[in-house]
């Protein structure tokens, strides 16, 4: 179980403190598929970075299975099973896709076949990609899928995906949904947090959280929250884009 207690994140802006995340309390139970949505600039990516340990909160605490992990590094959190996929993935010059997956699994002897299985799952033809360098020659969408594959390969206790749909418009949304469904099946004790604006991702959530201005505005089971979102500014443009991409 993940718990955020009174979590805040402030930045100094023109000699003033600006609160990006403001006194957030949240509990994510094991086995739950939680989608965080809300307007751009609402603090979603910041919250994901705080959970992964990329940013340190200015107040409050983060607990995983009752253990206070607020002061732990990214690596220490990763060892406890927190996996994180960036909204904008990082490129690693000189490292092959195969290396990235081996590092993620912590198994240097992972076979090419096993590594390839994760790439296939995200719709990449594994043989073409496994020995590619993770550099600027990969498109944003390819990089994003490779990153999703590394989080999958980690078999995380808690997997956090920041806008996994970004840049993968040519890849069918149905595949992305299937990836999350497989992850949920495989990882029944773990929890999944996805930041997304996509109606199709929201519609497979157990729970939906709406984050706006650094506050949790609404939270609850999908069937309570989703109807309140449809047709609002936060949901509409992306949903329309998704439908168009699917040729509807």
> Which residues form the interface with Mg ion (CB under 5 A)?
44-45, 87
Q: What are 10's two structure tokens?
A: 């402030």
Selected from 26, 28, 44, 205, the binder of ligand ADP by CB under 6 A is 44
Helical H segments across 96-138, by residue range: 97-105, 112-121, 126-129
11 binds, among ligand ADP, Mg ion, none (CB under 5 to 8 A by kind): ligand ADP
237 binds ligand ADP (CB under 6 A): no
**56 touches ligand ADP (CB under 6 A):** no
Do 121 and 154 form a contact (C-beta atoms < 8 A)? no
Q: How far apart are CA 65 and CA 189, in angstroms?
A: 12
Alpha helices in 155-193 (DSSP H): 173-186
Burial class (CB in 10 A: 0-12, 13-18, 19+), 137: exposed
One residue of 6, 11, 76, 131 binding ligand ADP per CB under 6 A: 11
Q: How is residue 160 written in tokens?
A: 């956090």
Comparison of 116 and 211: residue with beta carbon closer to Mg ion? 211
Shortest Å, Cβ 54 to ligand ADP: 11
Q: Which is nearer to ligand ADP, 41 or 220 (CB)?
A: 41
153 binds, among Mg ion, ligand ADP, none (CB under 5 to 8 A by kind): none
C-beta of residue 201 within 8 angstroms of C-beta of residue 161: no
46 binds ligand ADP, rule: CB under 6 A? yes
Q: Which of 15, 1, 11 is nearest to 59 (CA)?
A: 11
Instruction: State both tokens at 227.
Output: 């109807």
Only one of the segments 40-48, 113-121, 151-159, 223-231 lies at the binding site for ligand ADP (rule: CB under 6 A); that segment is 40-48
Q: Smallest Cα–Cα separation from 52: which of 185, 208, 160, 148?
A: 160
Distance CA 68, CA 53 (A): 12
164 binds ligand ADP (CB under 6 A): no
Residue 193 interacting with ligand ADP (CB under 6 A): no
Among 28, 43, 60, 193, binds ligand ADP (CB under 6 A): 43
40 binds ligand ADP (CB under 6 A): yes
Q: Does residue 190 touch ligand ADP according to CB under 6 A? A: no
Q: Would you say 83 or 164 has its CB closer to Mg ion?
A: 164
Binding site for ligand ADP (CB under 6 A): 11, 13, 20, 40-46
């Amino acid at each position: 179980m993940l718990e955020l207690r009174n979590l805040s994140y402030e930045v100094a802006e023109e000699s003033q403190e600006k609160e990006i995340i403001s006194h957030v309390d949240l509990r994510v139970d094991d086995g739950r598929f939680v989608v965080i949505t809300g307007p751009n600039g609402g603090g979603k990516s910041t919250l994901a970075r705080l959970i992964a340990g990329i940013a340190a909160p200015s107040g409050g605490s983060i607990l995983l299975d009752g253990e206070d992990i607020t002061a732990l590094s990214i690596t220490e959190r990763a060892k406890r099973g927190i996996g994180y996929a960036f909204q904008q993935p990082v490129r690693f010059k000189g490292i092959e896709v195969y290396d990235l997956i081996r590092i993620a699994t912590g198994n240097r002897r992972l076979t090419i076949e096993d590594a390839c299985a994760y790439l296939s799952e995200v719709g990449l033809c594994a043989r073409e990609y496994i020995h590619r360098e993770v550099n600027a020659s990969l498109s944003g969408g390819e990089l994003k899928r490779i990153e999703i594959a590394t989080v999958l390969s980690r078999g995380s206790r808690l997997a956090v995906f920041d806008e996994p749909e970004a840049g993968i418009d040519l890849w069918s949304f149905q595949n992305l949904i299937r990836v999350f469904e497989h992850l949920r099946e495989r990882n029944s004790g773990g929890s999944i947090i996805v930041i997304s604006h996509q109606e199709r991702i929201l519609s497979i959530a157990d729970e939906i959280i709406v984050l706006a201005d650094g506050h949790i505005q609404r939270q609850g089971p999908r069937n309570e929250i989703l109807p309140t979102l449809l047709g609002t500014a936060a949901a509409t443009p992306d949903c329309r884009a998704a439908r168009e991409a699917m040729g509807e």
